[in-house]
Structure 1
Amino acid sequence: MYIYDDAGLFDVEAGLSPDFDALWSDRCQDAITSLRRRISSGELGFASLPERDPIEIIAWAEGRRAEGWTDQIVIGIGGSSLGTRAVLEAMGPAWRAAVRTHFAENLDPVTLHAILEQVDLQKTLLVVVTKSGSTIETMSQLWILYDALVKTVGRAQADRQVIAITDPQKGSLRALARERGWESFEVPANVGGRFSVLSPVSLVPLALAGYDVDGLLGGARRCLDGGDEAWMGLARIAAQHVALGDQGYGQLVMMAYGDRLNALIDWFRQLWAESLGKARDRRGARVNTGITPIKAMGAIDQHSQVQLYMEGPNDKQIVFVETRSHSTDLTIPASPPLPAPLSHLQGRSLSEILQAEAQGTRAALARAGRPTACWRLESTGAASVGGFLAAWMFITALAGELLDIDAFDQPGVELGKKIAHGLLGHPEHGALAGETVPPPGDDASDSWTARR
């Protein structure tokens, strides 16, 4: 499923010490005990998601596909879309899916307009995902798309083409689904957005697209097949990153070698940043903790960021993400001959070259004294991707326990939302909006630079 190689975290002068395991084993065990207690009490539901049988979702998706739908627009943002996109791109290609998938995430009118130009609304399903039902980006775009759908097919038919994935009982989207008779699926009340990729949040659109959601969950289940030993292995990885953070390596670069892995890193960034970036610990003490996740792509960022990683501040822990096999490959032909400096590449496959570039970059970083580790997926198939997703959710949760913070809330994102609502006329948040700096005017003389 995957192999984790952490030798590069120890083999550099300022890396982890040889007695790391002795120093951290008790803390790891305490973190495991605490997290397992929260899971068994029902407080945290993400850990049990792989145990749920997806047969009903699969059967539903097969039935909907049989109706002839060609496209689905997934309307959601953050944890409501990143996991779905990550799996689609990893297991893809998405353009060959049984139902083509488009994402209405960011509030960019150009992007949403382009989606409307690409799809035939008569053959398109709207899959709206928001647990709270009040996400400004999601509900704004839903209303635009629903209006366009009603104008195209009429209200009654439009209501048959909307699928809501939201809280089981509360929220404005749940109320809308009841009122308009929209088909709906539940996000478990004890599962937060960034931990919801193995719930209906992603399983519904993935199954609709024809992806192997049963295999995805199977791979996730295997993550803890080793029992206590598997738990300790994941806690040890969490502790490595926390320990390196304590040593001044406050940035975690995840560098993926393979385009299909790209969106997995986007998913990881939200999971890690939103879970671990906290002002206070669980006792209320101010700690302002967090390890900043940075996305990098190999081999592209060898020509972009690696110069900084090699010779800039030694404050980054770098995790390579690779796949042992690709779904297809291409070989450089033996003739006509390449110029002499490159002739040794002839007869080599692109995957071979990409792997060599990853190994070369990792070796160079090690020589420069930079701590590195490597996740090597067996493939980008369902089981490997499911295992990766589950592993990092557990690692992140365990890191939260080690840091003594709540990895399952996000108080820091609420103020900006309230100010935005106030600026747009929300009566309860107008006072907050009045405290903001006015935006620059169109006239250069009225710009912020001129005013300062």
Structure 2
Amino acid sequence: MTPVKALEQHGQAVWLDFLARGFIANGDLKKLIDVDGVKGVTSNPSIFEKAIGSSDEYDGAIGSALKGGDRPVIDLYEALAVEDIQHAADVLRPVYDQYDGNDGYVSLEVSPYLALDTKATIAEAERLWKQVDRSNLMVKVPATPEGIPAIKHLISKGISVNVTLLFAQQAYIDVAEAYLSGIEAYVAGGGNPSHIGSVASFFVSRIDSAVDKQLDDKIAKANDPTEKERLAALKGKVAIANAKLAYQHYKQLYAGPRWDKLKAAGAKPQRLLWASTGTKNKAYRDVLYVEELIGPNTVNTVPPATLDAFRDHGVPRANSLEENLDDAKQVLADLEAAGISLDEITKQLVKEGVQLFADAADKLLGAVAFKRETVLSQRIDAQTLALGTTLAKSVEASTEEWRAAGKIRRLWEGDAAVWSNTDEAKWVGWLNSAAAEKAKLADYQDFAQWVKAEGFTDAVVLGMGGSSLGPEVLAETFGEVSGFPKLHVLDSTDPAQVRATRDAVNLTSTLFIVSSKSGGTTEPNVMKAYFFAQVSAMLGADKAAAHFVAVTDPGSSLEKLAKQQGFARIFHGDPTIGGRYSVLSPFGLVPAAAAGIDVAKFLDSALAMVRSCGADVPPQQNPGVQLGLALGLAGLAGRDKVTILSSKAVADFGAWAEQLIAESTGKDGKGLIPIDGETLGEPAAYGNDRFFIDLRTEAETDAAHDAKLQALEQAGHPVVRIVLKSADQIGQEFFRFELATAVAGSVLGINPFNQPDVEAAKIKTRELIEAFEKAGSLPAETPAISTAEADLYTDDKNAATLRKAGADGDLASWLKAHFARAGAGDYVALLAYIARNPDHIDTLQHIRLAVRDRQHVATCAEFGPRFLHSTGQAYKGGPDSGVFLQITADDAHDLAVPEQKASFGVIKAAQARGDFNVLTERRRRALRVHLKGDLAAGLKMLDAAIAEAIN
């Protein structure tokens, strides 16, 4: 008969506050049951965190669980926890049977994140009860104000409950009332309550720790030796006194007519369970909270160290709970007289208890996330951050702030307060789009088979911004798939580019994917009108519609038109997903399926990153959060030029990321300016405003490139390296960057889902087109200077500034004065409203690199009108650090738009002028050069003029 086992002779059951897989499997739990009479087991996040995170005991189980397929971190943890709980319950089942359901329980806690949410607590408790499927389970629910109604509901449904985080006597009375009311409801519904077990876990040592701290403060300030002695006498006494008086409430509550009626129906009393019974103050006897709290119909749950100590030298004392009750009352009275409020302390301890369990849950889930990523290392793209000491410390501090505030969970819940507290909650459908579209695989596979069966040789996406840039990445990254059409993307109103797309395909065997969320966007509408007329001319209007599908939001004007004209298919987007976040929705997946990309494999890969960035993955282990915090904090520190470097296999990704970052963050005078396509240079080429992100595939090695990155890092520039296992895992990067951008938006304090300044340019464009429709020409303009080769335009304020800086009748002088305005922390953007083709890309690249290397500023090379739906937002609404050179030109050959006066050339010109007007209205440093005559010659001339201007 050990001292532990002897406690049962005094009516007290001993439960163990510990659980681990090996502890059960090795027979140690069974031994404690047999030798010491242990009759139950409690668990909490802290216990599981120590078991899972501090050893390799669970590594094999995690690896085995993931062999059957990836799963979210919380699901992975629950699978482990439920299995442990089931095994422990099975070991304790003989105890449960022997004592007719009074003992033999194992407790599993609902998520501490739900402690302030009644409905969510109920839902999770019911789910866990069903999942564990053991009658000797108790679901642990905290005694928060929100938890108490959940307790009543669960008891009324016949679910056994361990009520945790009880500190105050009144809270215990409220819990007992919830239990009694729940039993009454269950009985009233015809249930037999004999199988329902419940304990009220009343915490002990934490009270003394909190009280003793305040007593020590008062002792230190007291001058009277008698007062010091009186205060000191209270140390180590309050928790036991509080527990003894709570036990008196228990005796009163479970006596009398109300209880007698329930007892006759088969109900068991909800026993008081003494929790937190390991002493935290080494000055106290290590078995203090066991020896002083012995009494009939109670439970003491002890950690292993306290169990061992009591077995070794504990003294079981019959009914010590009933000893010196008057003294207990006096202790609490003296505490109040000393000016210490036990009520305030217990309220604070509940808050702290919830937070402590949440902290432990974060550590636990972080440990599981790490082990999951280790097992899946060959399936998840790697990310490393080299941020430098100062930025790294900022990210570390912000990581902890996000963790403590539960911000990643709030972000996933769509809590607008994470951002600007406006309409953000309406725009977070992208978080779940990959999973939602996975459920529609049959539709995509059916569509892909139809495309293949129809024998289409080409597929052309007609869209802008989010509707075009994602599909373009897919087309460039995956290439042609045998048996499927080649995927093209047209996102321009430039007549030469429209004509080039027409000439690149066989119209009679081409599928056109008209992609527009709103259905009212100018560019896809005129592109659709043009190509529909072209196909109709060759096949007849009745057959042309079979070559068109629409991707649009429900109820849009495009949907109505598609139905009217008999399009082959209509796919609906999710109205809660903005265009730039839509690549993992039908706007990206319909073109992917048409091109023969394995949508199932693509989504599975993307979902691996979704799970890595999930609400259940704490910020420290969450790659999207880490990247987003680094981006946002770097931006606040002045490193707001996010320079994206992409290897050949994923070269087009930067154009998509450019839109995402610029349009999401560039507003309210704030923002990050993405720099895509700027060839990597030596450290001397860069100012202190850079943040580098390098993406490459694992198979691609480039020693010279890596050496340059290393040099940048050593020079103090933040460098993020992302290594894709293969190019076909690009879906992971879509989601990583989406989440990172949303997090960066939170850091910057803006709404990352709106684009107020994009609309401003659209309004100007519409006004100009309407003027053309009425007058037959665009409104006249007066150039600042005019030469045989070019006209130069700007507003009066810019013109005056440039003339003062030396601009005269020579183009180079204007360019010199203009580029001289770019200083440290600024960027130069070339905005060319010309066809986007290899020759023009090379020309702009040559110019931008010359500007960068000469002036040491970031540079952008953009093609209009494409960039209007991308970086145009940041250029107009972001920080006033841009120096803009817009490039327009005469169109050698225009194209008419069917049933519209304005041609493609006119529309492009209106877009350029509308864009420029908004830039100048926003007081941006902007200059427009309009090239005359042969475009190639004009670009050569401009290149030479800029070279002269910057040298």
> Normalising to structure 2: TM-score of the pair?
0.40
| Alpha-carbon distance in 2 for matches of 1:441, 1:140 | 34
What does residue 177 of structure 1 align with?
Answer: 562
Go from structure 1 to structure 2 and tell me whether the alpha carbon gap of 1:20 and 1:441 turns closer, same or farther (over 3 Å shift).
Answer: closer
What does residue 463 of structure 2 align with?
Answer: 76
| Alpha-carbon distance in 2 for matches of 1:66, 1:372 | 47
Instruction: Please say if residues 269 and 295 of structure 1, whose CA atoms lie closer than 8 Å, have aligned partners that are also in contact.
Output: yes
1:405 aligns with 2:750: yes
Amino acid corresponding to residue 55 of structure 1 in structure 2: A
Quote the offset at 1:443 in angstroms. 5.9
What does residue 551 of structure 2 align with?
Answer: 165
1:289 aligns with 2:670: yes
Amino acid corresponding to residue 698 of structure 2 in structure 1: R
What does residue 799 of structure 2 align with?
Answer: none
Go from structure 1 to structure 2 and tell me whether the alpha carbon gap of 1:23 and 1:446 turns closer, same or farther (over 3 Å shift).
Answer: closer
Q: What aligned pairs does 1:260-279 form with structure 2 within 5 A after superposition?
A: 260-279=649-668
Instruction: Please say if residues 451 and 484 of structure 2, whose CA atoms lie closer than 8 Å, have aligned partners that are also in contact.
Output: no
Instruction: Please say if residues 662 and 672 of structure 2, whose CA atoms lie closer than 8 Å, have aligned partners that are also in contact.
Output: yes
Go from structure 1 to structure 2 and tell me whether the alpha carbon gap of 1:215 and 1:68 turns closer, same or farther (over 3 Å shift).
Answer: same
Amino acid corresponding to residue 312 of structure 1 in structure 2: Y
Quote the offset at 1:31 in angstroms. 3.6
| Alpha-carbon distance in 1 for matches of 2:631, 2:391 | 10
Instruction: Please say if residues 310 and 368 of structure 1, whose CA atoms lie closer than 8 Å, have aligned partners that are also in contact.
Output: no
Q: Which has the larger radius of gyration?
A: 2
Go from structure 1 to structure 2 and tell me whether the alpha carbon gap of 1:426 and 1:217 turns closer, same or farther (over 3 Å shift).
Answer: farther
CA deviations on 1:182-214 (whole Å, 9 max, x unpaired) are 121111111111010011111111111100111
| Alpha-carbon distance in 1 for matches of 2:791, 2:433 | 54
Q: Which among 237, 245, 265 is matched to residue 635 of structure 2?
A: 245
What does residue 606 of structure 2 align with?
Answer: 220
Amino acid corresponding to residue 253 of structure 1 in structure 2: T
Instruction: Please say if residues 133 and 166 of structure 1, whose CA atoms lie closer than 8 Å, have aligned partners that are also in contact.
Output: yes
| Alpha-carbon distance in 2 for matches of 1:249, 1:125 | 44
What does residue 10 of structure 1 align with?
Answer: 388
Quote the offset at 1:441 in angstroms. 9.0
Quote the offset at 1:158 in angstroms. 0.4
| Alpha-carbon distance in 2 for matches of 1:235, 1:427 | 48
| Alpha-carbon distance in 2 for matches of 1:23, 1:420 | 42
| Alpha-carbon distance in 2 for matches of 1:5, 1:447 | 46
| Alpha-carbon distance in 2 for matches of 1:380, 1:419 | 40
Q: What aligned pairs does 1:127-142 form with structure 2 within 5 A after superposition?
A: 127-142=513-528
* Secondary structure, aligned partner of 2:750: coil
Go from structure 1 to structure 2 and tell me whether the alpha carbon gap of 1:39 and 1:204 turns closer, same or farther (over 3 Å shift).
Answer: farther
Quote the offset at 1:427 in angstroms. 9.8
What does residue 414 of structure 1 align with?
Answer: 759
Amino acid corresponding to residue 2 of structure 1 in structure 2: D
CA deviations on 1:306-342 (whole Å, 9 max, x unpaired) are 14x53432110111111102xxxxxxxxxxxxxxxxx
| Alpha-carbon distance in 2 for matches of 1:377, 1:93 | 17
Q: Which among 273, 297, 317 is matched to residue 691 of structure 2?
A: 317
Q: Which among 18, 21, 26 is matched to residue 396 of structure 2?
A: 21
Q: Which among 225, 229, 247 is matched to residue 617 of structure 2?
A: 229
* Secondary structure, aligned partner of 1:421: helix
CA deviations on 1:71-128 (whole Å, 9 max, x unpaired) are 11110111001001112222x2238672112221111211221222222211111111
Instruction: Please say if residues 166 and 173 of structure 1, whose CA atoms lie closer than 8 Å, have aligned partners that are also in contact.
Output: yes
Number of residue pairs matched by the alignment: 398
Go from structure 1 to structure 2 and tell me whether the alpha carbon gap of 1:132 and 1:450 turns closer, same or farther (over 3 Å shift).
Answer: farther
Amino acid corresponding to residue 251 of structure 1 in structure 2: K
Go from structure 1 to structure 2 and tell me whether the alpha carbon gap of 1:175 and 1:10 turns closer, same or farther (over 3 Å shift).
Answer: same
| Alpha-carbon distance in 1 for matches of 2:444, 2:593 | 7
Q: Which runs of 5+ in 2 are unaligned?
A: 1-379, 417-424, 794-807, 815-951
Instruction: Please say if residues 422 and 428 of structure 1, whose CA atoms lie closer than 8 Å, have aligned partners that are also in contact.
Output: no
| Alpha-carbon distance in 2 for matches of 1:242, 1:429 | 47
CA deviations on 1:235-270 (whole Å, 9 max, x unpaired) are 2221111111122212111111x2221111100000
What does residue 476 of structure 2 align with?
Answer: 89
1:423 aligns with 2:423: no
| Alpha-carbon distance in 2 for matches of 1:186, 1:440 | 48
Compute the RMSD of aligned alpha carbons.
Answer: 2.8
Q: Which among 490, 502, 509 is matched to residue 123 of structure 1?
A: 509
| Alpha-carbon distance in 1 for matches of 2:544, 2:504 | 18
Instruction: Please say if residues 473 and 653 of structure 2, whose CA atoms lie closer than 8 Å, have aligned partners that are also in contact.
Output: yes
What does residue 65 of structure 1 align with?
Answer: 452
Amino acid corresponding to residue 379 of structure 1 in structure 2: S
Taking only the aligned residue pairs, the percentage that are identical comes to: 27
Quote the offset at 1:222 in angstroms. 1.2
Q: Which among 421, 427, 431 is matched to residue 47 of structure 1?
A: 431
Instruction: Please say if residues 223 and 230 of structure 1, whose CA atoms lie closer than 8 Å, have aligned partners that are also in contact.
Output: no
| Alpha-carbon distance in 2 for matches of 1:124, 1:17 | 51
What does residue 359 of structure 1 align with?
Answer: 706
What does residue 334 of structure 1 align with?
Answer: none
Go from structure 1 to structure 2 and tell me whether the alpha carbon gap of 1:68 and 1:416 turns closer, same or farther (over 3 Å shift).
Answer: same
| Alpha-carbon distance in 2 for matches of 1:195, 1:168 | 17
| Alpha-carbon distance in 2 for matches of 1:137, 1:441 | 31
CA deviations on 1:1-24 (whole Å, 9 max, x unpaired) are 211111x2125xxx4144641344
> Normalising to structure 1: TM-score of the pair?
0.81
Amino acid corresponding to residue 46 of structure 1 in structure 2: W
Quote the offset at 1:405 in angstroms. 1.5
Go from structure 1 to structure 2 and tell me whether the alpha carbon gap of 1:39 and 1:152 turns closer, same or farther (over 3 Å shift).
Answer: farther
| Alpha-carbon distance in 1 for matches of 2:644, 2:427 | 30
| Alpha-carbon distance in 2 for matches of 1:20, 1:202 | 32
